[in-house]
Amino acid sequence: MESDRSLKRQRRSGIELLRIIAMYLIVVHHMVIHNSFDFMAQPDSFRKVFLGLFEYLPGKIGIALFFIASAWFLSVGNQTLEKSCKKIWVLERELLFWSLAGLVLRLVATPMQMNIMDFVSAVFPVATQLWWYATSYVLFLLFLPFLMSGLKSLGSLRHKRLIFCMVAVWGVLYLIPGAALNIGLDLTGFIYIYVLITYHRWYMRPMKTKTVWLIFILSALLLLFWNVTLELLYVGQSWDLYGVLFLVVDREWSLPVLIFSFSMFLLFERLQLQSRVINYIATLTFGVYLITDHPFVRDLLWKKIFDFNKYYYLNYPVVRMLAIVVVVYCCAAVLELIRKSIFKYTVDMGQGKLFAFIWKKVTI
């Protein structure tokens, strides 16, 4: 996802491998949560409980992991407005390519169902939040230089106090069932994570690997216990109550999910692994997200082509689900590879000259 050359030189395959895993978890989550098949409405069985684990948890962990990896790199170095705008410039071209590709697909497949907003969102994917992550990330990059300067000016003590306030409001108080404290799939969540990551990188001593493993295992057991228990207790007529209880923990920025995700990140960050193949595949992951989570493609994949009504009562449904996601992931990665190849010999040949020209003009 990062396009800055300095970051390319610093790519570490352990973290890049984690990006690949994180995106896989997100696609698994999308297959379940956006499927026309209602997993939770099925009769109680081991099959239902096991498949139900994929409804929320993998995606929330995947989102947290994916942004933690970006925030980790963006917490060091000199983050300037020019750098941020250049990253946005590069990202916007990718967004436009896949939003317009999705528009063409819709025009071919369902022309009579199109409306004016479909065209508007295809041309302005960030402003219309065609993909929530992309919009939030662009806004985060835009404000990043000022956010980083502000955090550095706080110093260690006030930075720690800021974290205390944030964790108290968005961590502890959000564990109250039904809490509504305005943090979710938006810029606020990204800022929250960035404040935590920067304090860890700037002021804290690295934790021992044994300690990280202990935190990882305990948080994993907590997440499993919470989800399995609620699924065993769930009855179809009381989803409103159980939905609230599930989301106490199964949110992307909940304390249990963040503790598990960050400990997992630290374990992968410490891997002594270097692989050009892994590093390159990781550059395709954001394209996988854009393709598979485009609203039209998402409905096509999970409500029509891979409607789980076809697979739920067959043998090994979990294996089938995970295999389907592998196939979808690989196909989307190939499409993103084609997009990158096209860009390499077209829009990327200027090597940033157009951006440099525009930036010079607007900053005179």
For 207, the token pair is 């934790």
271-329 pLDDT tens trace: 988 899 999 999 999 999 999 999 999 999 999 999 998 888 888 888 999 999 999 99
Residues counted in the chain: 364
Q: Are 135 and 184 in contact (CB under 8 A)?
A: no
C-beta separation of 268 from 14 below 8 A: yes
pLDDT score, position 6:
42
Read off the pLDDT band of 236 (50, 70, 90).
low
CA 306 to chain centroid, in Å, comes to: 22
User: Is pLDDT above 80 for 242?
Assistant: no
Rounded average pLDDT over 138-146: 96
Region 205-216: mean pLDDT is 95
CA 273 – CA 235 distance, rounded (Å): 46
Contact indicator for 53, 314 with CB cutoff of 8 Å: no
Which pLDDT value is given to residue 364?
A: 61
Burial, 101: exposed, middle or buried (Cβ in 10 Å; 0-12, 13-18, 19+)?
A: middle
Q: pLDDT band for 1, please (50, 70, 90 cuts).
A: very low
Q: Is the pTM of this model over 0.95?
A: no
Mean pLDDT to the nearest integer, 78-88: 92
Residue 6: φ, ψ to 5°: -65, -35
Please determine, for residue 111, whether its predicted confidence score (pLDDT) is greater than 50: yes
